[in-house]
Amino acid sequence: MSLNETYDPDNIFAKIVRGDMACVQLYETDDILAFMDVFPQSRGHCLVIHKKADATNLFDIDASALAGLAGAVQKVATAVKTGLKPDGVRIAQFNGAPAGQTVFHLHFHIIPIYEGEALGVHAAGGPAPAETLEPIAAAIRAAL
């Protein structure tokens, strides 16, 4: 998918926003949703999306919506830092398939980094069960 694709309202994140698919939720406002990545690269890997902006990538969202999204990324990343105590935190955002984007709904990854632990390959193997993600999510939610 290129940088100029039309937004697909049936992408997996749009389905999560509509309630058609479940997620392990961390944080929600009228505009923002943060949830655990079901293909985590590390313990606590989560995603933050804008619920109302039909943006495929960074180039499709208006500046005011992006500002709100960025503030939410900071809030959730701070909770990850406080709740999980990683050695570092990687914030990632990809635009277009050649850049590594796999879901074409603008989203930010928050990936805790733990010294001595290699990152997993994203989307390798099956999805993590909600029952394994929930205790990690609880620690993040407690820090929000």
Active site residues: 107
Averaged pLDDT, 1-11:
89
pLDDT digit string, tens, across residues 24-75: 999 999 999 999 999 999 999 999 999 999 999 999 999 999 999 999 999 9
Q: Note the pLDDT of residue 121.
A: 87
Q: Sign of torsion, CA 67 68 69 70?
A: positive
Polymer length of the chain? 144
Q: Note the pLDDT of residue 1.
A: 67
Q: 124 and 39 in contact (C-beta within 8 Å)?
A: yes
Q: 42 and 119 in contact (C-beta within 8 Å)?
A: yes
Task: Note the helical H segments in 1-144.
Answer: 12-18, 63-84, 130-142
* Amino acid at position 104, single letter: F
Q: How confident is the model at residue 2 (pLDDT cuts 50, 70, 90)?
A: confident
Q: Note the pLDDT of residue 18.
A: 97
Percent of the residues in the chain that have a pLDDT greater than 70, as a whole number: 99
pLDDT digit string, tens, across residues 112-142: 999 999 999 877 778 999 999 999 999 999 9
Averaged pLDDT, 68-86:
98
Q: 115 and 101 in contact (C-beta within 8 Å)?
A: no
Angle ∠(89,107,129) on CA atoms, nearest 5 = 75
Domains in the chain with CATH codes: 12-142 (3.30.428.10)
